[in-house]
Structure formats: C-alpha cells, structure tokens
Structure 1
Amino acid sequence: MPETGRFKPSTGWIDLDFVEREWTPCKIFEMGIRQHLAGLSLSNTVIILENLGVKRSRTAVHNWVNKADLQPGGGASPDRVAVDQKVIRINGEQYGLYTAVDPQTNRILHSRLFQTYTIAIGGEFLSELIEKHDVADALFLIDDAGDFIGSLQKEGLSYCVEVHGHRNQVERVYREVERRTCSFSYGSSHVDPATAESWLQAHAFCWNQWLN
C-alpha cells in the first residue's frame, strides 16, 4: 500500500457532485473516502473526522464510498497484462476475485467479484477487460496452469505461464487487493457481494491515483 496515499490534502480526483445534497464539506467527504480506502477502518476514519470537528457515523462514511461510484478508468493499451483469480470468503461463502494489472505500472486495469470461479466466468471477466481497454493483442501473464488457461483459450488470447519476472512485480498488488477486500468484508457486518465489489472497485481506482 502506498503509504503516501494517507493523509494527503484534497486533490480533487474524486468526483463529488453527489455531495450537493449533503451538509458535509467536500474536502471532508474526500478525506473520509481516501482514509478508509487507504486502509483505515470505518471506526478510525470516524475518529479522524471527529478530530476535525465533523461527527459522522460509520454507516455515513460507508455510504460515501458507495455514492462516489469510483472505479478504474478505461482506455489503457499495455502490451502485457497480468491476470489472477483467487478464492476469498465473504460472510462464510466463497467468491472468485478476479484482477488484471498492467505489470509495467502496477495499475489495476479491472477488478470483479463473482459468486463462482469457472472458465466461463473467467471468459466474462476477460471480455469486460477487452471492452474496457485495448488489450486484445496483449500477452497475458498467468502464474499457473489454472482455470485462466481455459478462459484465455476460449477468448482466443495469447498467454504465457510466468512465475517470476513481471509477475513478481505485481504480486504485492494482488496480495493487497485480496487483503483489503477480505478486511473490508470482515469489518462490515453482513456485507453483500455487490457492496463488497463496489468497495473493491473504489479501492482499485484510488490505488491507481496513488501511483500517479
């Protein structure tokens, strides 16, 4: 996690049009969203805001993230893309966490949560990725001969199995995405998968901003 992502002043890269209906100042909204997505729990984020003289509930901060509707932008055209699929647990049930990363920049290109993890689901993820970015001719890097091979073959995409090299550069990104998604689900009572995915995409958006 880029530690400099925490406690920076407002940068204006979060679209806060939705706050027109709120009483909280825009800078406080952005700070609250940034602190939570940077790794602070909802409780600790609330404490930070209270120290600034703004009292808001954990639920309010949680809702800010959802209302902001943050997700990674499109239009990238890397010549290599590292993709990964991991099984995580939310509310005691297993889900497939799919993530695509540009290994040259460590920017997250696309992230999704699915209720299962199959070749067909992997194909759906890759189709979304291709629609969002210019990567149809890219070389896809995978870490083992798992379900992703079948998905890549089904979509007619080029790939290679790479355990080291470029894969080493992005493993920390995968670990952080997995850790933060699991941390979010454990720290939010009865979180539903749609909310967890919304938070995941918001975290991916902010991760990319912190790399700038």
Structure 2
Amino acid sequence: MIRLHGQKFWLYGAVDPYTNEILNLSPYPTATKQTTRWFLTDLHRRYQLNDVEFLVDDADYLGPVLAEDDYRFRVIRHEDRNATERIF
C-alpha cells in the first residue's frame, strides 16, 4: 500500500526480473480480484504474456486470479523479496 495525495492505494507492478525494467505500475484504491484482472488486462495489452511466469507475494487475491485465468505463477513469501519489491 502507498499513500498518494493523502489517500491509500494498492500499487500493482510488473518488473522484468532479468533487467529490472519496470513494465507497468498502476495504483488502485482496493486490492481485489477485479483490480488484479484490470491490471493483468492492461499488462496483456502491452506485452505478450503467454510464456511468462509471474512471481507474486502471498496476497490472498493474486494466486486465485492467476490460476483462474491460466497464468503460470510462483508465490514468493515476504522473507524472500520478489523482483518488484527489490527494485523499490
């Protein structure tokens, strides 16, 4: 969660773990399955996602959405910072 202009937002981000290039960042007022799908839809429009594996933290809403939408993913717990968290 981040604060932006005094309001709380969940920051969704996608980073290439090999180059550390930030591919997409989007703030949302909530972290839900729907906001996750909005983020993935936008990301899919920009990049080919067919052969990628998502590294995600253990947020309850991420894994189920990725699984339901047939994306490959691996959960990385907070002890081992994921690629996006390392950049920030």
One-letter identity of the residue aligned with 1:118: T
One-letter identity of the residue aligned with 1:124: W
Residues in 2 aligned to 1:114 and 1:108: alpha-carbon distance in whole angstroms: 17
Task: After TM superposition, list the pairs within 5 Å mapping 1:63-74 onto structure 2.
Answer: none
The corresponding residue for 2:26 is: 112
Q: How far did residue 111 of structure 1 move? A: 0.8
The corresponding residue for 1:124 is: 38
The corresponding residue for 2:2 is: 88
Q: How far did residue 89 of structure 1 move? A: 1.8
1:24-79 deviations in Å (ceiling 9; x for gaps): xxxxxxxxxxxxxxxxxxxxxxxxxxxxxxxxxxxxxxxxxxxxxxxxxxxxxxxx
**Is the aligned partner of 1:101 residue 2:12?**
no
Unaligned runs of 5+ in 2: none
The corresponding residue for 2:64 is: 150
> Residue 150 of structure 1: SS of its match in structure 2?
helix
Residues in 2 aligned to 1:129 and 1:149: alpha-carbon distance in whole angstroms: 17
> Residue 62 of structure 2: SS of its match in structure 1?
helix
Identity among equivalent pairs (%): 33
Q: How far did residue 145 of structure 1 move? A: 4.5
Higher strand share: 2
Quick check: which has more Rg, 1 or 2?
1
Aligned residues: 86
RMSD value, Cα: 2.0
Residues in 1 aligned to 2:38 and 2:49: alpha-carbon distance in whole angstroms: 15
Residues in 2 aligned to 1:109 and 1:90: alpha-carbon distance in whole angstroms: 20
The corresponding residue for 2:86 is: 172
**CA contact 1:145–1:161 (8 Å) conserved in 2:** no
Task: After TM superposition, list the pairs within 5 Å mapping 1:195-210 onto structure 2.
Answer: none
Gap change, CA 1:171 and 1:96, over 3 Å in 2: closer
Q: How far did residue 127 of structure 1 move? A: 1.2
Return the TM-score normalized by structure 1: 0.37
Unaligned runs of 5+ in 1: 1-86, 176-212
Q: How far did residue 95 of structure 1 move? A: 1.1
Return the TM-score normalized by structure 2: 0.80
1:142-184 deviations in Å (ceiling 9; x for gaps): 122432112212322111112438x3x54331x2xxxxxxxxx
